[in-house]
Chain A
């Protein structure tokens, strides 16, 4: 590969790469506002000016191609002077809003003002006033004064979301971002602009003023909104999830996620209707019970049915681990009726990220064995067999069957035994004889397999009653590190819940002792040793960005 020189280091580059890209790959970062690796080059902010030998003037690193033998200085006096001048120029009209600005703490302007700014202003005139708190679309507020006119948001809407909704209006220092007349900024991907806006001009209505960024811990996770499985970061304070942001993964979601995934996939974790502890039906009413007595009761009850009178329902919302243990449990009882319902929203998809399958793990659930065994019944026929009375006992994990349709709800009332694992109260738990509290995807270790056969990891970000942030090696904010039980900011709710695989393995110990797992890793090791596609894998190999399973072409057709 050809080589050029940056600050005395030899840097390799691919022909066609710009100075900023090539330097970045070599670990040398050049300040930038308007340049974004996933967007077209605009070259309007000028903060990336660098000195190149034999060129008469400074050049912008984001749109100058690297060439063989080029000598670039990113820290020379001339460069630094230019950078300081650009910073001063940008700050002329920028308000001193950091104390009330959500971006503070993750703001490029703040960072560069700290490292390149003069610390004082020579500008004595009155700053420009522009519109503040403009509602651009359903999720976004815009602050005109904070905008530095980098055009990232406009380019994102055009190039990534394919929705040409934003533009600049006016000129010079009056320039501001606006939607086209009569348009709303309402495409399915708008909130990504909040992430890429280098300043706090665009803010997320849902997260606005909820927390300062340095007060939260962030944990790598996976979105459960659809089978794409966008990589995310989960931001938690006081054991409450406050926001999700996309995490870069070029194999899955590039650097983006959709607004629906971002806003609607975490609130149930902290919802009022979380199931906290185990419930058993006494005299027609669900009453709180000891986990051990519920396990005893369930084990005793299950024995009363013949294996063809029992059915198991897994879930594409649950992890591979949960589903695998469920399938293994069914097998150990000789039950062949096992399946999971699909949640497909026909037509609700695009060629960007959003998929029709609204669950994160359909592929995984199927691979680990949640599908009818031999002549066992599929999901639909399990339901019809309940209606006809052939199936008398149903064991469900993490699915709200009764809410799918009224008919389903009516059928469930015909059962002699209904055992449900659920994280939240719903129509199905209302009908159950036993309700086990299952932890959500934010509270456990596990894996999902996305539509493409890529296996990806989730990690706990929120603690349940039995977990401890420090002992379980979870990410901690400063508050988490130093808080005590007497501090109000440490008293966030922790529900009494367990992973489904954990509950199932306890149940199995009572019934036939076929399974005993203490950690998700152990379950995964079992999956890796017994299922072809997972052969040889462990959590470390899956890593933070996932890995493609070796899927036989025959089952890849979806």
Chain B
């Protein structure tokens, strides 16, 4: 076997490495005095800005009625086919409500299309990024997990009013 000629031969200082090691140590030292970005999750939690797209949730009004009228547009627009809506009739003025509303969090890709298409501002992207489940069925969130009181979503709703035409 012939010895391959290296493309770039190291010079003497580089060969003894000491200078390079010192350079590396300097970098470490400098960073030790810089502000920290890491968070000690889960003791410390990240509070996302209002533009953040966490898991989609349904807005529940103060009288505990969901805004959703089960029009099915979110379900139609969802590129991942994550949403299933079953409508039914209600005596309330809105006539229609979602008897069943399920989002399959294993399918959802957090694109926010559902929020964008909704004519009632009834589904919005929350700040919740903690999704844990140990089997496929638990990953399908029903109304019990999806409904969130409107006050808790005011950040996002304000953001949408400001930036969505």
Binding site for B on A (CB under 8 A): 98-100, 104, 132-133, 208-210, 212, 214-215, 478-479, 482-483, 486-489
| Given A209-B87, A479-B81, A488 contacting B96 (CB threshold 8 A) | no
- The answer to whether B76 and A214 touch across the interface, beta carbons within 8 angstroms, is yes
Q: Tell me the count of chain B residues lying within 8 A, CB to CB, of chain A.
A: 21
- The answer to whether B88 and A209 touch across the interface, beta carbons within 8 angstroms, is yes
Q: Answer whether residue B149 sits at the interface, using C-beta atoms and an 8 A cutoff.
A: no
- The answer to whether B70 and A209 touch across the interface, beta carbons within 8 angstroms, is yes
- The answer to whether B95 and A133 touch across the interface, beta carbons within 8 angstroms, is yes
- The answer to whether B81 and A100 touch across the interface, beta carbons within 8 angstroms, is no
Q: Answer whether residue B50 sits at the interface, using C-beta atoms and an 8 A cutoff.
A: no
Bound Cα distance from A360 to B6, whole angstroms:
88
- The answer to whether A99 and B140 touch across the interface, beta carbons within 8 angstroms, is no
Total contacts A to B, CB within 8 angstroms?
42
Question: Which chain A residues border B104 with CB–CB below 8 Å?
Answer: 487
Question: Which chain B residues border A132 with CB–CB below 8 Å?
Answer: 95
Question: Which chain A residues border B4 with CB–CB below 8 Å?
Answer: none
Selected A-B contacts with CB under 8 Å, 8 pairs = A99-B71, A100-B71, A104-B71, A208-B89, A209-B70, A478-B81, A487-B104, A488-B102
Question: Which chain B residues border A133 with CB–CB below 8 Å?
Answer: 95
- The answer to whether A100 and B88 touch across the interface, beta carbons within 8 angstroms, is no
Query: Contact partner of A209 among B73, B96, B119, B136, CB < 8 A?
Result: B96
| Known interface pairs A212-B71, A483-B81; 4 further A-B residue pairs with C-beta atoms within 8 A, sorted by A's residue number | A99-B69, A209-B88, A486-B136, A488-B102
Bound Cα distance from A133 to B81, whole angstroms:
32
Closest Cβ neighbor of B106 among chain A residues: A486
Q: Answer whether residue B94 sits at the interface, using C-beta atoms and an 8 A cutoff.
A: yes
Question: Which chain A residues border B96 with CB–CB below 8 Å?
Answer: 99-100, 209
Query: Contact partner of B81 among A98, A209, A482, CB < 8 A?
Result: A482
Closest Cβ neighbor of A141 among chain B residues: B89
- The answer to whether B88 and A212 touch across the interface, beta carbons within 8 angstroms, is no
Shortest 5 CB-CB distances between A and B: which pairs?
A99-B71, A209-B87, A212-B72, A100-B96, A489-B84
Q: Answer whether residue B120 sits at the interface, using C-beta atoms and an 8 A cutoff.
A: yes
Q: Which of B37-78 contact A (CB under 8 A)?
A: 69-73, 75-76
Closest Cβ neighbor of B104 among chain A residues: A487
Closest Cβ neighbor of B72 among chain A residues: A212
Question: Shortest beta-carbon distance, A412 to chain B, in Å?
Answer: 42
Bound Cα distance from A208 to B140, whole angstroms:
26
- The answer to whether A100 and B94 touch across the interface, beta carbons within 8 angstroms, is yes
- The answer to whether A99 and B120 touch across the interface, beta carbons within 8 angstroms, is yes
Closest Cβ neighbor of A97 among chain B residues: B95
Bound Cα distance from A133 to B91, whole angstroms:
10
| Given A479-B81, A488-B102, A488-B140, A212 contacting B119 (CB threshold 8 A) | no
Bound Cα distance from A100 to B69, whole angstroms:
7
Question: Which chain A residues border B71 with CB–CB below 8 Å?
Answer: 98-100, 104, 212
Closest Cβ neighbor of A487 among chain B residues: B104
Question: Shortest beta-carbon distance, B120 to chain A, in Å?
Answer: 7
Question: Shortest beta-carbon distance, B36 to chain A, in Å?
Answer: 42
Question: Which chain B residues border A479 with CB–CB below 8 Å?
Answer: 81
Closest Cβ neighbor of A482 among chain B residues: B81
Bound Cα distance from A479 to B136, whole angstroms:
19
Query: Contact partner of A99 among B73, B84, B89, B136, CB < 8 A?
Result: B73
Bound Cα distance from A209 to B87, whole angstroms:
6
Question: Shortest beta-carbon distance, A526 to chain B, in Å?
Answer: 43
Question: Which chain B residues border A487 with CB–CB below 8 Å?
Answer: 81, 84, 104
Bound Cα distance from A132 to B88, whole angstroms:
17
Question: Shortest beta-carbon distance, A279 to chain B, in Å?
Answer: 32
Bound Cα distance from A509 to B104, whole angstroms:
48
Question: Shortest beta-carbon distance, B82 to chain A, in Å?
Answer: 9
Question: Which chain B residues border A208 with CB–CB below 8 Å?
Answer: 89
Bound Cα distance from A488 to B136, whole angstroms:
11
Question: Shortest beta-carbon distance, A125 to chain B, in Å?
Answer: 21
- The answer to whether B94 and A212 touch across the interface, beta carbons within 8 angstroms, is no
Bound Cα distance from A434 to B70, whole angstroms:
46
Question: Shortest beta-carbon distance, B79 to chain A, in Å?
Answer: 10
- The answer to whether B81 and A99 touch across the interface, beta carbons within 8 angstroms, is no
Question: Shortest beta-carbon distance, A322 to chain B, in Å?
Answer: 35
Question: Which chain B residues border A98 with CB–CB below 8 Å?
Answer: 71, 119
Question: Shortest beta-carbon distance, A482 to chain B, in Å?
Answer: 5
Closest Cβ neighbor of B91 among chain A residues: A133
* B78-109 interface bits toward A, Cβ cutoff 8 Å, 1 = contact, 0 = none: 00010010011100001110000010100000
Bound Cα distance from A486 to B104, whole angstroms:
10
- The answer to whether B72 and A209 touch across the interface, beta carbons within 8 angstroms, is no
Bound Cα distance from A478 to B78, whole angstroms:
12
Closest Cβ neighbor of B107 among chain A residues: A487
Bound Cα distance from A25 to B95, whole angstroms:
41
Question: Which chain A residues border B72 with CB–CB below 8 Å?
Answer: 212, 215
Count chain B CB atoms within 10 A of each CB in A98, A99, A215 and give the residue with the most. Answer: A99
Query: Contact partner of A212 among B76, B81, B95, B140, CB < 8 A?
Result: B76
Bound Cα distance from A333 to B103, whole angstroms:
58
Question: Shortest beta-carbon distance, B105 to chain A, in Å?
Answer: 13
